[in-house]
Amino acid sequence: MKAKEVILAGRSNVGKSTLFSSLLKVEVRKGKKPGTTIKPNSFQFGKVIFTDLPGFGYVSGYKRSFSEKVKDFVVEYIETNARRIVASVEVIDASSFLEIAERWERRGNIPVEIEMFEFLNEVTPRVFLAANKMDKVDDYSILNKIAEKLGMQPPWENWKHVIYPVCAKKGEVSTLKRDLKQYLLSLNLKDAAKAFR
């Protein structure tokens, strides 16, 4: 059997690499400033490859052309490897998602994270949405508004198989880890068990 792949995608500085490390107990390059991950970090466990993709979207201190280049790279990577990708995890910053999305919408643009969510749903068979940085959120009801922005009818609890509130920095990722592992095992990818130690 050829290797299968799970990807983590998300805007810059949402804690994607921290979540990747927290889920798999592997060390990847992380940074305080956006743009630290500029090429994919991949780890293979048997027949399952886990890939942390570069963060897309506006990156402070870089030219807009750099941001576009990274986004194009991410999209191209997903399209090129779509046949082996069995799941995708989109990571968002739950504390700033709405503010950023509304700023984009006021300019008449589709927010990049919403665009990516729609793209992943088109191209990959299963999407897990990791709503990260929940420690910075006062009220879980914000997840209802996030669900709505992403085209899911609130309450968010109806979408617990899609939306996973996490705090990667504190290692609070158990529900996402459990469901991702169960999903991979349902595909007979027993190597998934080795990945989630």
pLDDT digits (tens, 9 = 90+) for 149-189: 999 999 999 999 999 999 999 999 999 999 999 999 999 99
How far, in Å, CA of 99 to CA of 88, rounded? 24
C-alpha distance from residue 132 to each of 76, 168, 173 (Å): 25, 7, 9
* pLDDT tens, position by position, 36-73: 456 899 999 999 999 999 988 755 555 666 667 888 89
Share of the chain above pLDDT 90, in %: 77
β-sheet bridge partners, residue 52: 8, 41
- Say if CB 136 and CB 92 are below 8 A apart: no
pTM of the model: 0.92
CA angle, residues 51, 55, 57, in degrees to nearest 5: 145
Q: Residue 193: what pLDDT? A: 77
